[in-house]
Amino acid sequence: MRFEGEKKETLANGATLLSCSAPALHTVAFTLVMPFAPVEPAGLYHYIEHLFFERAGELRAAGINAAMTENGSEINGFTAQNYMCFSFTCRQEVFVRQLRLLYAMLTQREYGEEERARVLPVIRNEMFEDNFYDIRSGDIIRSLWFDRRYNQPVLGDIRDLEEATEEELSSCRRMLFTTGMCAFLAGGFTAEDAACVRGTFGKLPLQPFTVPPAQEGERNTSPVNRRGFGRELQALVTYHVTDADKDLKLAAHWLRSGLFDGLDSPGFTFFDEWGFHFYSLDADFAIRGSELVFSYVAYIRKKEKSLFEVLVSRFEKEGEKADFLKLTRPYLYDDLILLPDNPERLCAHYMETWADVGEAVTLSEEAAFAEGLTNEALAALWRRVAASLRRIFYIAK
């Protein structure tokens, strides 16, 4: 596969711009990723994300919303454990206006009590909704990171946010503007549009991006863990790799997809033959630095625990026999060629790959890697995952 419209460059301030031009299209997508090292108390970065939508120079929240409405495009933002992300998709003719609006929002330095008074109730509501839904498996996975900076909830604690000082918020805001910043631009943009990116986010004063050494916490290495009581259980199986390299990070979604996607996947087929007729067998993975946590979760009954634990070990061996290429190539490799025609999806793909690998990866680089994959190579990578620290969590009411 060849992607003629792709270009990866280092901007004047040290940030990275990865662009993919599709001149025949009329829409443009833009995504900005701002990595950071988590701080305590947790929740400050998410707080700052909300503040960014409150002021942009002379504009207040109502004016920002009106400008987005006029451009026919919404700026979306979210905060993860170790990065903040902003994105939008718009018509080409309003791209510069929308980009400058985002730039004005992110370079705003001063906020008053009125902005904080509007933001805190919104965050409080997010916390309520987050606690309302049953997300215990997600909470458990978050608690597994050996680097304890990633154990804290992104939303934090409302009491800490209410007591946050302007100095704390300003310090966190400065830590967002580093040479780790990465911008993704795709679609029918013009040379002038790209120049505007270089002249705004490419000229921001940035400090070097450094991640302090990991803060080691208490490690949970118990092979079987219990949460709650009851006859009906959610069985969560996790594998914790501590030395994940770029190859394993790039291949992780091939392993997840090849083993667990679809009713004819090796995971469904294997457990089905042993009487576990799952409605769903959800697998996922997450990466923080060199740590990778691969997981899958299913519903079982308490009386089935002993058999399930035996089958987990057997499936680790069975998974090595999977025809990964047959199961994943049509969806993961062939799908790459379609991404340049969908700017919004392409920028999301760039961002997700960045989140996994920790650097900007072009479609050309990803395709070259995928083209060289074999079933034997993927089986060897799965063995690395299966040989890592395995834990089983039984979650009940």
pLDDT in tens, the chain (397 residues): 778 899 999 999 999 999 999 999 999 999 999 999 888 889 999 999 999 999 999 999 999 999 999 999 999 999 999 999 999 999 999 999 999 999 999 999 888 888 989 999 999 999 988 877 667 788 899 889 998 889 888 999 999 999 999 999 999 999 999 999 999 999 999 999 999 999 999 999 999 998 888 778 778 888 888 877 778 889 999 999 999 999 999 999 999 999 999 888 999 999 999 999 888 789 999 999 899 999 999 999 999 999 999 999 999 999 999 999 999 988 888 889 999 999 999 999 999 999 999 999 999 999 999 999 999 999 999 999 999 999 999 998 7
For the chain, the 3-state helix, strand and coil shares in percent, each to the nearest 5, are 45, 20, 30
Domains defined for the chain, CATH in brackets: 6-199 (3.30.830.10), 224-395 (3.30.830.10)
Question: In this structure, are strands 182-187 and 27-35 parallel, antiparallel, or unpaired?
Answer: antiparallel
β-bridge partners, 191: none
Residue found under tokens 């009581």: 229
Cβ neighbours for 282, distance < 8 A, ≥ 6 positions apart? 260, 296, 297, 298
**pLDDT given for residue 172 in this prediction:** 93
**pLDDT given for residue 134 in this prediction:** 64
Dihedral angle of Cα 130, 131, 134, 140, to the nearest 10 degrees: 90
Cis ω on the peptide bond leading into residue 41 (within 30° of 0)? Answer: yes
